[in-house]
Structures are given as structure tokens and as C-alpha cells.
């Protein structure tokens, strides 16, 4: 699978997940260049052929807005832990969507986790403007291959 | 008709979401129980009867596959319909879960109406 194809799958994954389960639209690439403030980041590692990891980064206020949509709560009513849980679940769904379409065989997702730092920005990096703010995804895979 | 439902997922956020979309899509819940993995679910099922179980696959302690295996060994519980809700969209995974006894399979991300449709199909389908 080419990098352009992987990037397209990653973009589709983000758009479909936000639309279906966060009731939030995506508006393509953000107008401003550069990474969003890395106030929150979540990572999911996966095992398979090939292994890799996906990292999502976004500003804390944007993550809180998405969490409120997902849980059907007011933003102010949410704890930091709830916001983190939702960002982890978003990373889990985006990662699962991508690897289901990229992996050559069976795969296993690790438990999503919040990163203390902003996380890596290696591999394929994609930033999208959402109704809540900028979301940046980084997909790192070892030698991506096509399914048979 | 209202249903007694058990949601099994290690993510509290996902359990809340599933419950919310069931309620908002008009699915009547008589009771809604939650468990963080298959072991907690089996313990809960010792004391509570449910009409349908919705379970994730990738969970700590007892995952969704092992949960289905253990359910199938319980005379009273094997008849409870199970709908799997997973990020794994591969055909072989769904086939394996059906082989273990699942009656429905929903891939995340899903729309509320997709979940409702799969629940209705599962609950209305004849079974042994």
C-alpha cells in the first residue's frame, strides 16, 4: 500500500469516526500550518503484519468538546479522566479502522493510553480541522504491505 | 417491549456511549448492566438475567472470545443472544465470533441506527 493510500485510509477513518460517533464534521486540512498545541495525546500500538502505532494529538479544549459530544454531557461536567477515556476510545476506533483495511492477516490492538508528552510525530502525519478544533494523527508502521 | 441489557467493554466511555445511543434511538431499556470484561460479566450473570449482551472483543482479564467460550458452556446462559461490537472489521474475525456463538456483529465506528438495526435483527431472529 502506498503512502498516499495509507493517508487516504487514515483520513477516511477520522472522518467516519467523528461523523458517526462524535456527531462532528471534518473540514479538511487546517488553515494554519504546523501542529496543534499538544496538550493531550493518546496512543494505540498494534501487533500484526506489519506492527505499528497510531497517535492522536489535540488541544485539551478540543478534546473536551469531542468528549462532550460523545458522552452527551456538558463540557464543564466532564472530568479530566473522562476526557482522556474518550480520546483513548477515539484513538482505538481510528486505529482499528485503519489496520482492518491495511493488515495482511490477523492483528491485535494494544490498550489505548494517554501520553504524558505530546507523543511522536513520525510516520504519516495528518491534521484535520474538526468542529471541535484541530486533530492530528500520526500513523507509524513497519513496511506497510497490501492484503493478499 | 423493553429489554434487560448487559454491556461488556473495558472502556467506560464506550459503555456510556452504547447506552446513550440505545436510549436515544428508541430502544427501551428495562435494565442496563455494565461490566469491564468477560469475567465481571460472568459474575454479574450469576445473579441477573438479561435479554441481550453487547460485548467488545479486546478486553483485559477475560476477552470477548473467551467470554463467548465460557458462555457456551453454561446451560442457562448459552441461549442469551450476544452482539459483538468491535473495531475489528475483518471478515475472519467476525466469522470466528459467530462460530463461538455470537448472533450479531457491529463494527466501530457505527451510527446509532446501525446498532439498533443489528439489535432488532438479533432479537427477532429465531434461535435454538
Q: Does residue A65 contact residue A90 with C-beta atoms inside 8 Å?
A: no
- Give yes or no for residue A148 having a pLDDT over 50: no
- Report chain A residues whose CB lies below 8 A from the CB of B14: 89
Integer Cα distance of B128 and B118 in angstroms: 19
Q: Which helix (H) or strand (E) holds B19?
A: helix B12-24
Report pLDDT for A34: 63
pLDDT digits (tens, 9 = 90+) for A74-94: 999 999 999 999 999 999 999
pLDDT digits (tens, 9 = 90+) for A31-77: 776 656 668 999 999 998 889 999 999 999 999 999 999 999 999 99
- What cell was used for B125? 431472529
Asked if the C-beta of A135 comes within 8 angstroms of chain B's C-beta atoms, the answer is: no
What is the SS3 assignment for A7? helix
Quickly tell me which residue has 506497510 as its cell.
A144
pLDDT band at A120 (very low <50, low <70, confident <90, very high): low
Quickly tell me which residue has 446513550 as its cell.
B20
Query: What phi and psi, each to the nearest 5 degrees, are found at residue A53?
Result: -155, 155
- Of the candidate CATH numbers 3.10.20.440, 3.40.1550.10, 3.30.420.40, 3.40.1190.20, the domain formed by A3-141 belongs to 3.40.1550.10
Asked if the C-beta of A72 comes within 8 angstroms of chain B's C-beta atoms, the answer is: yes
- Nearby residues of A6 by Cβ (< 8 Å), 6 or more positions away: A98, A102, A124, A139, A141, A144
Residue A45, min C-alpha distance to chain B (Å): 13
- Report chain B residues whose CB lies below 8 A from the CB of A17: 108-109
- What cell was used for A48? 500484526
- In our burial notation (b when 16+ CB lie closer than 10 A, e otherwise), range A134-147 reads bbbbbbbbeebeee
Tell which residue, B33, B31, B52, has the closest CA to residue B43: B33
Q: Do residue A20 and residue B13 have CB atoms under 8 angstroms apart?
A: no
pTM of the model: 0.90
Report pLDDT for A145: 52
> Could you tell me the end-to-end alpha-carbon distance of chain A, in angstroms, rounded to an integer?
11
Q: Does residue B79 contact residue B53 with C-beta atoms inside 8 Å?
A: no
Report the pLDDT averaged over residues A13-40. Answer: 83
Sheet of strand B3-8: strand arrangement: B29-35, B3-8, B52-55, B82-86, B104-107
Integer Cα distance of B35 and B43 in angstroms: 9
What is the SS3 assignment for A143? coil
Report pLDDT for B114: 92
Amino acid at each position: 500500500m502506498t503512502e498516499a493510500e495509507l493517508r487516504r485510509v487514515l483520513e477516511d477513518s477520522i472522518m467516519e469516526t467523528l461523523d458517526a460517533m462524535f456527531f462532528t464534521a471534518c473540514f479538511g486540512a487546517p488553515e494554519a500550518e504546523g501542529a496543534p498545541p499538544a496538550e493531550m495525546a493518546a496512543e494505540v500500538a498494534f501487533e500484526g503484519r506489519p506492527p505499528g502505532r497510531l497517535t492522536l494529538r489535540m488541544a485539551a479544549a478540543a478534546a473536551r468538546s469531542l468528549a462532550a459530544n460523545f458522552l452527551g454531557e456538558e463540557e464543564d461536567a466532564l472530568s479530566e479522566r473522562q476526557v482522556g477515556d474518550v480520546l483513548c476510545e477515539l484513538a482505538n476506533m481510528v486505529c482499528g479502522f485503519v489496520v482492518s483495511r491495511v493488515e495482511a492477516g490477523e492483528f491485535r490492538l494494544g490498550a489505548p493510553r494517554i501520553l504524558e508528552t505530546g507523543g511522536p510525530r513520525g510516520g504519516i502525519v495528518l491534521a484535520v480541522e474538526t468542529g471541535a478544533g484541530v486533530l492530528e494523527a500520526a500513523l507509524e508502521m513497519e513496511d506497510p504491505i497490501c492484503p493478499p | 417491549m423493553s429489554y434487560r441489557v448487559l454491556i461488556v467493554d473495558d472502556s467506560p466511555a464506550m459503555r456510556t456511549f452504547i447506552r446513550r445511543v440505545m436510549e436515544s434511538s428508541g430502544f427501551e431499556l428495562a435494565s442496563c448492566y455494565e461490566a469491564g470484561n468477560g469475567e465481571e460479566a460472568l459474575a454479574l450473570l450469576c445473579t441477573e438475567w438479561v435479554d441481550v449482551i453487547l460485548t467488545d472483543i479486546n478486553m483485559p482479564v477475560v476477552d470477548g472470545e473467551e467470554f463467548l467460550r465460557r458462555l457456551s458452556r453454561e446451560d442457562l446462559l448459552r441461549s442469551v443472544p450476544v452482539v459483538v461490537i468491535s473495531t475489528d472489521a475483518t471478515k475472519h474475525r467476525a466469522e470466528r465470533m459467530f462460530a463461538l456463538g455470537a448472533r450479531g456483529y457491529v463494527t466501530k465506528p457505527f451510527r446509532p441506527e446501525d446498532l439498533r438495526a443489528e439489535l432488532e435483527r438479533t432479537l427477532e431472529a429465531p434461535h435454538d
